[in-house]
Structures are given as C-alpha cells and as structure tokens.
A = this chain, B = another copy of it.
C-alpha cells in the first residue's frame, strides 16, 4: 500500500483531499445503469483526490505517483456509464475540472483545456459564431476531455459521425507517465492513440476540436401510430441531405410516458421521433413527416431550452438519457448499445424489436459511420439477470447487429471489435510503461517494466 500521506506532502500547494465522502463521490460515475458493473464497482474509491490548476501541477502529480508507484485515474464530469473513471486499485483520482479555459479559436478550431464543461465551451463558441459538432446527452455536466476519453458519440452524429471520424479530433496535449512525465503534443492522425482510451494512454490536458458554424436549432417531437413508420421517417430524415439536422432518435411506444416534459403531448400507444432541425428546414420536415403519417406534437427552441435550467432540451431524452429517464421512475431496467447494419437496417431493427418486445423497449438513434448512415440503439431492457442479458445480446448478434457491451469494464470488451487498435496499445507501452494510468481498463496491456 502506498504512503498516501507522504504523497500528499510531496504535492503540497496543489488542491488535494482525503475526505472520505469526497473520495467516494469523485470515484463514481453512472456505471450503476448496469447491475453487473454496480456489483463490481460499488465501494471502489481513490485514496487521494487531486485537482490540478495547470499542466505543471499535472506533471508534478504524475511524477510523484510514478516515483511512489501509485495509480492515477483521471476524471472529468463523471458522466460515463462504464466506470471509466472508477479507480480499480485506489491511488489518486485526478479531477480535471479546474483546467477549463478556452485557449484559442482560429479557423473554427478551438484549443481548450480538457476540464471545460461542454455546455460552457459551446456557449463560449456560440458567442464567437461557432458551435460544437458533437456532444453527449450529458452536455450540461460532461467535460470535453471526458467526452474524448470515454465517450465520443452522440448528438451531431447524424451529420458528423463520431469523434473517431478523421478530422473530428484535431489534436491534443497529453501528460505521460514516462520517466520523467512530459507533455506530448499529438496532431491529426497521431492523436488517435489518446482517443477514447479512458485516460489509460496519458492525461489529456488540452484538446483541439473542430467546430461548425453556429446556427439555431428546433427541437421537434413527432408522434407516429406505430414504431415502423417512425423508424422509416427517422432513417429518411438521416438520408435527407436538404434538411440540416443534429439528431434523430426513435422510441417505441413504451418509452414516451417516461419523458416528463413531453409525455402528455404523445398520444397513448404512439411511437415517437425526436429531432433537432434547422429552423429553415421545418417546412421540408413537415412534408417528410406527413409522408410517413407523423404528426408534430411538440416543438421548442433547442438552444434556449438548453440554457434554461428548468427546461429539458430534447437531447436529454435521447442517447443514454433515455435510460436515465426510465430509471428515474423504475430501477428495474438497464440497457444495451447496438449498431445495426448499413443495409436493410430496419429489417434488423424489427427482427429484434418484435422478438423481445416485452422486455426490450426499442430506442434507436440515427448515426453516420465512415460516411454511411445507419442506426445505433440504446434500448431499455427489463432486467432479468446477466444470463438473460447474454442471451439477448447473442440473439442481437445473430441478426448481424453489432454490440458495444456497456456491462463490462475494459475498453476491449466494450468495443464492437473486442480490441484496442495497435497504435493505442503501442502508445500505451510508450507513455505508461508501468501501467499506472487507470489500471484494469485496457485489458491487453501488460506492463513492460516493474518498479
């Protein structure tokens, strides 16, 4: 066991804490959506909390931890769902939220400290004529560093793909666990090794993120008599190049009653599509909705709603907020993450929706991967245990549906491909040879040295 008191003494001048309640709070995220992760992670906690103000403090902390062989787990807003920022072996939890300043904006690219809250960053950008391309449904609490390190998909994906799409993460500064720790600057393709690695490949201190010109967005809720036309509408919207959009999710009829702000507007038994659309495209959207038998039942200014603490932007019913909205009223559910095939997308959706209708409440989101359109899904699942979950996942995969399992701890197990790319593993070996950065999260990594 490391000498935490000695470590704290060595880090004098940096914001630190050993308060039990704080350590417990700062060692958690939203992993509890998964009963499996809950059983594995409840009670895990760091021994020392550190909140650096700048890169120099980050390097001091890393150097001290390397010397003392103490693990370091980095966290942003703590909005992840996979225990990304839960320290598996104690040590230091590194809270990045004090490093939150935008540094520069040029050519529509912002350089920003990793701990900036995404809503603040977007607001700052909007005042300068730009907006984020992508954000998670947790935008109002998540940090940009956390989104890069542990998220990367979400709102905007219907137009811009994911953060792993070339061009969506332009660069980073990353503090290493080398001897001595240094800050590396990685740019373009060379930034891939720090993209969605849960802080196992260095501590992101700054990010270079491309923005898109700011515009107003309308939140639109469209009700349909059945799930099928709702899904057909959503996919048609995703393919409609003439309609600028940021989001389109589809919800089977079991789900809208859990959406507090709009539940009353959706007729009982109706499926729902939620979209974010450029205001100028509303006429085209109405034509498209009418073609599929949909009716607009609610509408609001998305940006205004987001800034109003009393209001709910529609994206807070989408992505993994769907699951949260249900969990608020019913703790007996969990969820899955799926990606449907590019071809015959809706055939695959229907096959699993009809087969598991009682226990899997279908929720899909339109997305682009590599320039092609499909749907991902975060269906809400009535929890009947891990064995039943495995059977459902197997049935999905048998239909050609990719599963990104959200009930596992490691990057590899949670990936569609069950592995990390070689460049990430190689980079990890270089920057964290001792394996002190968020240990237990990159399964394939074996430390090359021991202290």
If A188-B286, A284-B170 touch, does A108 touch B240 (CB 8 Å cutoff)?
no
Verify B108–A170 contact, CB threshold 8 A. no
Verify B107–A280 contact, CB threshold 8 A. yes
- Chain B residues lying within 8 Å of A216, measured Cβ to Cβ, are 107-108
The residue of chain B having its C-beta at the shortest distance from the C-beta of A245 within the complex is B167
Partner of A187, one of B106, B187, B283: B283
For residue A244, CB closer than 8 A to chain B, the reply is yes
Q: Which of A280-330 contact B (CB under 8 A)?
A: 280-281, 283-288
Q: Which of A207-238 contact B (CB under 8 A)?
A: 210-216, 238
- Chain B residues lying within 8 Å of A286, measured Cβ to Cβ, are 188
The residue of chain B having its C-beta at the shortest distance from the C-beta of A282 within the complex is B107
Verify B371–A287 contact, CB threshold 8 A. no
Residues on A lying within 8 angstroms of B by beta carbon are: 106-109, 129, 159-161, 165-168, 170-171, 187-189, 210-216, 238-244, 278-281, 283-288, 368, 370-373
Verify A240–B283 contact, CB threshold 8 A. no
Partner of A241, one of B165, B239, B284: B165
Besides A210-B242, A213-B214, 12 more A-B contacts (Cβ < 8 Å) are: A109-B280, A166-B288, A167-B243, A168-B242, A170-B284, A188-B283, A210-B280, A211-B280, A213-B215, A239-B370, A239-B371, A241-B371
Verify A239–B372 contact, CB threshold 8 A. yes
Verify A279–B107 contact, CB threshold 8 A. yes
- Chain B residues lying within 8 Å of A170, measured Cβ to Cβ, are 280, 283-284
The residue of chain B having its C-beta at the shortest distance from the C-beta of A369 within the complex is B241
If A213-B215, A243-B166 touch, does A371 touch B373 (CB 8 Å cutoff)?
yes
- Chain B residues lying within 8 Å of A214, measured Cβ to Cβ, are 213
If A129-B129, A279-B107, A286-B188 touch, does A165 touch B242 (CB 8 Å cutoff)?
yes
Complex Cα spacing A451 to B99, Å: 80
If A188-B284, A283-B188 touch, does A368 touch B241 (CB 8 Å cutoff)?
yes
Specify which of A159, A166, A170, A216 lies most central, judged by the most chain B CB atoms within 10 Å of its CB: A166
- Chain B residues lying within 8 Å of A242, measured Cβ to Cβ, are 160-161, 165-168, 210
Complex Cα spacing A244 to B212, Å: 9
- Chain B residues lying within 8 Å of A279, measured Cβ to Cβ, are 107-108
If A213-B215, A286-B188, A373-B371 touch, does A108 touch B241 (CB 8 Å cutoff)?
no
- Chain B residues lying within 8 Å of A371, measured Cβ to Cβ, are 238-241, 373
- Chain B residues lying within 8 Å of A166, measured Cβ to Cβ, are 240, 242-243, 284, 287-288
A246 CB to closest chain B CB, in angstroms? 13
Complex Cα spacing A241 to B162, Å: 9
Verify B241–A160 contact, CB threshold 8 A. yes
Verify A280–B108 contact, CB threshold 8 A. yes
Complex Cα spacing A241 to B212, Å: 12
12 of the cross-chain contacts (CB-CB < 8 Å) are A107-B216, A108-B215, A160-B241, A161-B241, A161-B242, A167-B240, A167-B241, A167-B242, A187-B283, A188-B283, A212-B213, A213-B215
